[in-house]
């Protein structure tokens, strides 16, 4: 115990070593004296708190911001992974060089540049929050360099050609019934079971066609309700709660897809599922898993990965949608808007499959234009 400005202060020194106790006592006296005259360090208390408490408060901050549960869990997982690797216990343990070393080790391992950058972004966000919340004097992770994702893409998707997409839709329609019949070659299937298999196949084929015709992501398709689709206006609304960007968007819907929404509703009801405003257009029992998509691709005679390592999966239908817009000569800015990308570079570089573009036709058209310009110049000179 010690006295500061006539006030008796009692604090545990948490040591049995007399010399250490004396040093800590002097530090406490100095700190209390600074507080008494209004010169206390506002960050001192936070520096001494366990880092786990700051992390918990940061998680509360993310939840209060309204970020998705998946995003919140992902950020916290990355952050706790760093803390476990570096064994930091207080804010003083958050070190730029240590973080740089940890990220470098991850980059040298099996993780892609994108996965490493995801962890880096979690650290930066935590550091920014510490500064904004007046818990730290600076962001210890400011200046950490992002990896080049363009040169280290581990999963490159390609677009479906027209023939491949037709084959996938046909396989999705046929596979449930044909596989069911093969499992019971003698007794066959009842009419009720046969109708069920047909519905499952038609629902799956419609989902693939809808994904290729709208460019919606997997989570957006899974969260799509009947209130989000308007067959008369031929529009589909992506609610902010299911959109990756957390921004609501109303997109045009192809007339053929709008016209078949009623058929999808009939199939869903026949399956014993609801079609109210809040019910799903593609309900869980009818939504294909990653394995289901892979089996549909195999049934269609399509390889999940080509000789260049590019893959076909459900998200490839989004690549197909965007690539077809570019192939049709749609202005890049319009394509970006329909893709709902923040940066046009992502639309053009990652989501446009050059195989679908008429490169030779573009060169020929440019050549004809140059010849016309040259002829016009010669006529003017004469």
Angstrom distances, CA of residue 35 to CA of 24, 118, 266:
16, 41, 73
Q: Report d(CA 11, CA 9) in Å as an integer.
A: 7
* Residues 210 and 331 occupy one common structural domain: yes
pLDDT attached to residue 160: 95
pLDDT attached to residue 368: 62
* Residues 242 and 330 occupy one common structural domain: yes
Ramachandran category for residue 151: left, alpha or beta (phi over 0 → left; psi -120 to 50 → alpha): alpha
Two structure tokens written together for 16: 């049995």
* Residues 350 and 215 occupy one common structural domain: yes
| Domains: count for the chain | 3
Q: Note down the domain range covering 14.
A: 2-40
pLDDT attached to residue 159: 93
* Residues 117 and 220 occupy one common structural domain: no
> Which H or E run includes 237?
strand 235-238
Two structure tokens written together for 144: 């950490």
CATH number of domain containing 194 = 1.10.443.10
* Residues 98 and 164 occupy one common structural domain: no
* Residues 326 and 191 occupy one common structural domain: yes
Residue 137 belongs to a domain: no
pLDDT digits (tens), the chain, 382 positions? 555 555 665 666 566 676 766 676 676 666 666 665 555 556 677 777 888 999 999 999 999 988 888 889 999 999 999 999 999 888 888 999 999 999 999 988 888 888 999 999 999 999 999 999 989 989 999 999 998 877 666 678 999 999 999 999 999 999 999 999 998 887 788 999 999 999 999 999 999 999 999 999 999 999 999 999 999 999 999 999 899 888 899 999 999 999 999 999 999 999 999 999 999 999 999 999 999 999 999 999 999 988 888 899 999 999 999 999 998 888 989 999 999 998 888 888 778 877 777 666 666 666 665 555 555 655 555 5
pLDDT attached to residue 147: 87
Q: Report d(CA 348, CA 276) in Å as an integer.
A: 38
pLDDT attached to residue 187: 78
* Residues 22 and 60 occupy one common structural domain: no
Q: Report d(CA 131, CA 121) in Å as an integer.
A: 16
Mark 299-314 as b/e (b = at least 16 C-beta within 10 Å): bbebeeeeeeebebbb
Residue 46 belongs to a domain: no
């Amino acid at each position: 115990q010690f006295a500061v400005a006539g006030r008796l202060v009692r604090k545990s020194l948490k040591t049995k070593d007399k010399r250490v106790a004396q040093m800590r006592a002097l530090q406490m006296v100095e700190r209390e004296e600074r507080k008494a005259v209004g010169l206390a360090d506002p960050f001192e208390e936070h520096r001494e708190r366990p880092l786990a408490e700051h992390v918990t408060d940061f998680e509360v901050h993310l939840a209060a911001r309204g970020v998705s549960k998946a995003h919140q869990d992902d950020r916290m997982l990355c952050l706790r992974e760093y803390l476990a690797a570096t064994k930091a216990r207080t804010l003083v343990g958050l070190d730029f060089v240590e973080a740089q070393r940890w990220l470098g080790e991850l980059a040298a391992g099996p993780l892609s540049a994108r996965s490493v950058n995801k962890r880096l972004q979690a650290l930066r966000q935590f550091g920014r929050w510490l500064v904004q919340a007046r818990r730290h004097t600076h962001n210890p992770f400011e200046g950490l360099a992002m990896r080049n994702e363009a040169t280290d893409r581990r999963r490159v998707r390609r677009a479906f050609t027209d023939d491949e997409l037709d084959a996938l839709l046909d396989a999705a329609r046929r596979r449930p019934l044909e596989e069911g019949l093969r499992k019971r070659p003698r007794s066959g299937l009842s009419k009720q079971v046969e109708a069920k298999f047909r519905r499952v196949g038609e629902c799956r084929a419609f989902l693939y066609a809808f994904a290729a015709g709208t460019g919606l992501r997997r989570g957006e398709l899974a969260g799509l309700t009947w209130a989000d689709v308007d067959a008369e206006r031929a529009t589909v609304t992506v609610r902010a709660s299911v959109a990756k960007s957390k921004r609501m968007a109303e997109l045009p819907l192809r007339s053929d897809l709008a016209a078949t929404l009623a058929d999808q509703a009939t199939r869903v009801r026949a399956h014993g599922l609801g079609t109210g405003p809040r019910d799903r257009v593609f309900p869980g029992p009818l939504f294909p898993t990653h394995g289901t998509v892979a089996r549909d691709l195999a049934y269609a005679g399509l390889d999940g990965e080509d000789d260049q390592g590019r893959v076909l999966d459900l998200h490839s239908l989004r690549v197909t949608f965007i690539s077809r817009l570019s192939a049709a000569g749609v202005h890049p800015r319009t394509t970006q808007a329909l893709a709902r990308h923040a940066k046009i570079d992502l639309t053009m570089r990652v989501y446009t499959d050059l195989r679908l573009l008429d490169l030779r036709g573009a060169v020929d058209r440019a050549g004809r234009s140059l010849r016309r310009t040259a002829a016009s110049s010669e006529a003017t000179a004469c």
